[in-house]
Amino acid sequence: MAYTGLALEVDLSERDFSEVNISDKKYEKYAGVIGVGYEFATKLYKKKMDPFGDRNFVIFCAGLLVATGVPATKTTVITKNPLNSTFGPGVVGGRLAHDIKKAGYDFILLRGKSDDPVVLKITPQNVEFQKAGRLWGKDIVKVTETLKKKEKGSVVAIGPAGENLVPISIALVDGIHHIGKGGLGAVLGSKKVKAIVVRGDKREMTIFDREKFKEYSKILREKILADKLRKIYSELGIMSAWDAWAKQGYLTYRMRNKQASAGMLSEFGAEKYLYRVKKRSIGCYGCPSPCKAEVNMPGGRTTKTSVYLGLAMSLGIKCGIQTAEEAVECHDIANRLGVDELIFSELFDALVTFKEEAKIFEDEIGFEISRDAKSVKTLLNLIAYKMGIGEYLAKGMDGLVERFGEWVKEENDFIKNMDWVFDPRVSFGSESFGQLTNLRGGHEGPVTITVLEGRSEESLRRYVRRIGGDEEKIFENGFRAELYTLATENWLWVLNGMGFCRRESIARNLDITLIKNLFNTSTGFELEEEDIIDGARKAISLARALNCKEGYNYSNDLPPKKFFEPLKVGSSKKVLRNYLTGKEISEGEVLEMLRNYYSERGWGRDGCP
């Protein structure tokens, strides 16, 4: 019925595995897989458990509609994140979800710890615990290439940063797709799991009403193929937004106080990317709109990137690397080491800004640091191997406080010890308000049509109707960003639970009714649109409850002071404003918005279910 009804539970301590049956009612209750995953997490949870201890777990959840013939590719991963002790999920594309489903499972649960480095090889009804001593210490790309030579299937691998338990480490799927912001790489490293290979077979998913399902699948695929955005994404990916992001004020450095120069914008812009940096497009398995790429480095070498705009914004603008090719090379190093380049770039920018402002000095940093590729490479390696200043930066902004003192807290604009992408002074929609309520930490809220200012009320209303939001409440007395964010979070979790990509070239061709029809015809359930949304809402509350058990509450969602400082863009200054009315929003009003958000979710005033 689209889902397999099975979870594979792997006990690393005992080097054993078993299959767990999952009742149909669970899939119906949550209208997808994420809520089921969080039920597993809640059952396995122990209060204040060490993220690097044997009680922590890793749960891979393959999207419900993956491997059914629709362009669904996503896997959701749940663990206790060592960077900040949250349980917010990571989401990744590639072929991993397809192979998990084709191996006969909807979920893979890892618990315990191996005594020695291991590669897990998962095939239908079998798990092999292969020795990985010779791979330990090697970079992610090299490990992935080595395993791909002898094994078919998807490869999840960690690098030296994960092995050394760096909280800002990540893992990669097939050497390109990032997974686990918040320290998944370190969790796998603590379990001595160097890599996971998942290989499926040729089985077909059982579909309840195959003919009806094919009809709805055809509708979706035809809409995607006819969408002009698909061609734009296939050529440029989200670099198509570069000029708009620059114009509206997103591309900044010096801790969000200085706009990128014209030279920076040109060097890292769309034209150079398309004609000099990009070699070819790469997509997730079965995706009709490939938005990733193979890109050029110095010396005729190439590497792969999942989001070039992120690379250009972080390593190019924030770190000040002089050329796009050098930035790509640094991106390759970050990938190989398994370091999250987005949070790294914010930490690098803060460190250099403090030095430029004479708040710290190079003898305290430990090397001569500048905004250039050499310094970036040096610091990436120091972090991955937890040497010198790198041992502190490996812990995020909290590490800078530990190293330099309490004064750093006054400069800190991280949210739950995590960087954030979308400046609310540019556009105060779901992307920016959602950084406060993101269950994993800052990073970003759901990326929707409010990412850029200027959308009409009617276009926003159409979007809200399409995703199943409460139009009347959201547009009561203007525009309520907190309730819009809530609706878009629900929608994002619906997409993730089904396995669909949130990129607009895919997501804007979906609506809540089409998802309901795909879900019902594939499973045999008879849910309504509000039931699909309710399933996501329940899953979000389960995840929030886990955060609350770790001590999180309203105080952890409070906005940093940077939200309320004017942002200079050209000759104008931007401040926090209502997306539709333009009315300036005060700090007190943002705090009240948080309370409204909690109330609408059915949580207490402390922000806990």
132 within domain boundaries: yes
Whether 147 and 186 share a structural domain: yes
Q: Structure pTM? A: 0.98
- Per-residue pLDDT tens digits for 361-418: 999 999 999 999 999 999 999 999 999 999 999 999 999 999 999 999 999 999 999 9
**If you average pLDDT over every residue of the chain, what do you get?**
97
580 within domain boundaries: yes
- The CB density around residue 195, as the number of other CB atoms within 10 Å, is 25
User: What residue numbers bound the domain in which 18 lies?
Assistant: 6-198
pLDDT at residue 202 in the model: 87
Count of domains for the chain: 3
246 — pLDDT class (breaks 50, 70, 90):
very high
Q: What share of the chain is helix, strand, coil (3-state, %, to 5)?
A: 45, 15, 40
166 within domain boundaries: yes
Q: Is the pLDDT of residue 125 over 90?
A: no
146 within domain boundaries: yes
218 within domain boundaries: no
For 77, 92, 93, 101, 601, the CA distances from 536, given in Å and listed in that order, are 16, 18, 20, 21, 11
pLDDT at residue 233 in the model: 87
- Per-residue pLDDT tens digits for 186-221: 999 999 999 999 999 988 999 999 999 999 999 999
- Per-residue pLDDT tens digits for 6-28: 999 999 999 999 999 999 999 99
- The CB density around residue 108, as the number of other CB atoms within 10 Å, is 26
Whether 166 and 283 share a structural domain: no
423 within domain boundaries: no
Whether 535 and 581 share a structural domain: yes
Name the percent of the chain lying above pLDDT 90. Answer: 96
Structure-derived torsion over alpha carbons of residues 405, 411, 414, 420, reported in degrees to the nearest 10: -150
Whether 143 and 19 share a structural domain: yes
Whether 49 and 130 share a structural domain: yes
Whether 575 and 443 share a structural domain: yes
Domain finish residue from 198, 224, 253: 198
pLDDT at residue 511 in the model: 98
Structure tokens at 483: 């309730």
234 — pLDDT class (breaks 50, 70, 90):
confident
- The CB density around residue 407, as the number of other CB atoms within 10 Å, is 11
Do the Cβ atoms of 214 and 205 come closer than 8 Å?
no
Domain of 39, CATH number, reads 3.60.9.10
